[in-house]
């Protein structure tokens, strides 16, 4: 009877060792949870960026003023009935 109890205790100890220190054990589980948390944070940041891009796209599709503003600021375009003035600062004269 005592021999059976010792064998059972040995088996339990071996199984516990594999759970805590073996391959696919508690250490690997902890590492995978950390990777999932990092990926979740990254996904959340990308979702926020995508929402901003979707809002920008919707604004450009629906409002003519947004298209005009972007053309003026980024491309330097002017309307056909407007006059464009470019002011160039004077260079300082040195004696």
Distance CA 28, CA 44 (A): 24
pLDDT tens-digit profile, the chain (95 residues) = 888 989 899 888 888 877 777 788 888 889 999 999 999 999 999 999 999 999 988 877 888 887 788 888 888 788 888 887 878 888 876 66
Q: Which long-range contacts link 90-93 to residues 24+ away (Cβ below 8 Å)?
A: none
Q: What are phi and psi of 65, to 5 degrees?
A: -65, -35
What pLDDT is attached to residue 33?
95
What pLDDT is attached to residue 53?
94
Q: What is the pTM of this model?
A: 0.50
Number of separate helices (H) and strands (E) present in the chain: 3, 0
């Amino acid at each position: 009877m005592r021999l059976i109890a010792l064998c059972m205790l040995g088996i339990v100890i071996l199984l516990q060792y594999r759970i805590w220190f073996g391959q696919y054990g508690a250490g690997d589980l902890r590492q995978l949870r950390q990777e999932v948390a990092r990926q979740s944070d990254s996904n959340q940041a990308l979702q926020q960026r995508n929402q901003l891009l979707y809002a920008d796209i919707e604004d450009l599709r629906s409002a003519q003023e947004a298209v005009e503003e972007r053309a003026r600021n980024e491309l330097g375009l002017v309307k056909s009935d407007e006059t464009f003035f470019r002011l160039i600062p004077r260079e300082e004269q040195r004696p």
